[in-house]
Each structure stands twice: as structure tokens, then as C-alpha cells.
Amino acid sequence: MTSIAQALQQAREQLQHSDSAQLDAEVLLMHVLGKPRSHLHAWPEAPLDTGQLNRFTALVEARRKGQPVAYLTGQREFWSLPLEVSEHTLIPRPDTELLVEQTLALLPADKPLQVLDAGTGSGAIALALAHERPHWQIFASDRSPECLVVARHNATRLGLGNIHFFTGHWCDAVADQCLDALVSNPPYIAEQDPHLVEGDVRFEPRSALSAGMDGLDDLEQLAAAAMRVLKPAGRILLEHGFEQAKEVCNLLKDNGLSEISSFRDLAGHERVSHARKTT
């Protein structure tokens, strides 16, 4: 019989080349047992049955080969919401919480606003906004029907009824001048960036990550769409790469937007840029 402590020890040895071996092993075992981390620490001598051990061993082996833990468990937390993810969706990043924070900070909390999350993936941003502001109408688009299946499923599981999902190109499904805010975390990595073939990122959909030679193609499309879809005084907030703030601010300015500013993440990098339609 293999105990919880022995299974974790063996997994840590197998995953020794990962800098998150301990955490990965624990998350995978929690997933197999359907128990919280406290259970692993409270019952280290409890035996795994054969089915549990086989499933855990297979998951650890897949992780050793590089598969992201979120795809193996089908889950990732974002904005303290437990989200389902699949190999069709980007794995939501903590960095993107800055976009949610700034959207909540800039828009009035007490008005019934209309906000579009363009390129919603697993629904992360739309779900966080819908959860925080139940009286806002959130629209969420993605050109990937597979992403929208996951995003819709997350909304249903979380009981969030104030999101309308659309399959298609960024803002195409929304009428002119109907939005108080357009928010997006679009693909923004340059096509030839070597990070695309490293680590967990190489398992994520390329269509969710890269955007042309300099990574700016999709940011440019969104900046160009803003004047059409925003109401007067509406806002656009875009996540981008940590070295792209200057280019993104120029795109916003070139497309007729004003009150342009960028916000820094916890590492001090400008990761979100904002502008307003004032004309």
C-alpha cells in the first residue's frame, strides 16, 4: 500500500526538474482524492487505493512531460473563482487580475453599465466582473466556439446570469456606441518569441497567445474598434506585454482616444493601458 506521504515523495522525485514540484504534486493529488490540501497534511499515512494511485501516477507522468497542471486538473482559480479550463482556453493568469481591478476602480459601481470582454477564453475577466457587479450587463466574445463552451459552462456553474456570450470577431456582435467599457486581454506575443515554445506556454493555443510580427496586431484591432462601440465617455482597458505600454498608448491616441494612462502590475511593469472616448 502506498500512503499519501509516500505518493507525494515519489511524485516530488519524478518532478524534481520543475521549480514547483511540491505544489504540483499536492495539487494533482488533491484533484485525484477530491480533498483539500489540509487533508494531505492531516492524514499522511492514509493509503491510496489502486485506482487513485494509478490515476495519480499517470497525472504525475503527464506533468513530468510538461503538461500544465491546470490542463491536467481542468481547473484554475481566477479572482478567487474556481474556473474550468480546457486545452482550447488560455490558462488565466494572476497578471490579468490587474485589468479587472482597474476596470472596477474606474467605472461607477452603482450604475447599470454595459461592458464587453473581447476574447474571453475561459470567461475569466467577464466572470470576475459579473461576479463583482451583478447589475452590470457583461458581453463576452471569442472567435473560438470551444472557448465559449467552457466560458458558458463556468457562468452556469457559478450562477452568473448577467453575461451574454457571442462567437465571433472581437466587437462585431455589439451595436455602435453601446458600451460603457471595452476590456480585453488579447494575444500580444510576437510570433517569433522563443517563450512560445517553452514551459507550460507551449501547450496553450497559439491563437490565444501570438499576434503578428510584433505582437501588436490584435491590440491595434481593438484600439481601432473602440471609437465605434464605446458610448461617449466610455473607456477601453487593454492588457499587454510588459514592454508594450508605449506602443499601445500610441495606438489608442492614433485611434482618437484620450485620457491615456498605463497601470503597473505587482512587479512594477506597465501591463494595462486605458483610454477614454471624449469626442
Ligand X SMILES: C[S@@+](CC[C@H](N)C(=O)[O-])C[C@H]1O[C@@H](n2cnc3c(N)ncnc32)[C@H](O)[C@@H]1O
Tell me, what amino acid is at 259? Answer: E
- In the bound state with ligand X, the residue whose beta carbon lies nearer, of 92 and 241, is 92
**What is the closest distance, in whole angstroms, from the C-beta atom of residue 217 to ligand X in the complex?**
9
Question: What angle, rounded to 10 degrees, do the helices at 97-106 and 124-132 form?
Answer: 40
Check binding of 174 to ligand X (CB under 6 A): no
> Is residue 68 a contact point for ligand X (CB under 6 A)?
no
Beta bridge pairs of residue 275: 236
Separation between Cα atoms, residue 173 and residue 99, nearest integer Å: 22
Query: Measured from the CB atom, is 56 or 170 closer to ligand X?
Result: 170
Rounded CA separation 261/240 (Å): 13
Among the listed ranges 34-42, 103-111, 122-130, 265-273, the one in contact with ligand X (CB under 6 A) is 122-130
Stretch in the footprint of ligand X (CB under 6 A) among 17-25, 46-54, 116-124, 269-277: 116-124
Which residue's CB is nearer to ligand X, number 36 or number 199?
199
Per CB under 6 A, the list member of 68, 187, 215, 241 interacting with ligand X is: 187
Using the rule CB under 6 A, is 244 a contact of ligand X? no
Distance CA 85, CA 269 (A): 27
Report which of 122, 71, 123, 128 is spatially closest to residue 99, judged by C-alpha positions. 128
Grid cell, residue 211, equals 499576434
Q: Does 103 bind ligand X (CB under 6 A)?
A: no
Q: Which is nearer to ligand X, 43 or 191 (CB)?
A: 191
The one among 32, 40, 113, 186 contacting ligand X by CB under 6 A: 186
Of 3-11, 48-56, 137-145, 270-278: span binding ligand X (CB under 6 A) = 137-145
The residue ranges of DSSP E strands in the chain, in sequence order, are 75-78, 81-84, 114-118, 137-142, 163-167, 179-184, 230-239, 258-264, 270-276
Verify binding: residue 154, ligand X, rule CB under 6 A.
Answer: no
Backbone angles phi, psi at 83, to 5 degrees: -105, 145
| Closest approach of ligand X to the CB of residue 194, in Å | 18
For residue 195, the SS3 value is helix
Q: Is the separation of the CB atoms in 207 and 185 below 8 Å?
A: no
- Asked if 241 touches ligand X (CB under 6 A), the answer is no
Q: What is the DSSP letter of 224?
A: H
> How many residues sit close enough to ligand X to count as binding (CB under 6 A)?
22
- Check binding of 119 to ligand X (CB under 6 A): yes
C-alpha cell at 72: 491536467
Using the minimum distance from each CB to ligand X, give the nearer residue, 93 or 111: 93
Site string for ligand X, 211-240 (x = CB under 6 A): -------x----------------------
User: Which residues does 65 contact at the CB level (< 8 Å), separation at least 6?
Assistant: none
Residue ranges that bind ligand X, judged by CB under 6 A: 90, 92, 96, 119-122, 124-125, 141-144, 147, 169-170, 185-187, 207-208, 218
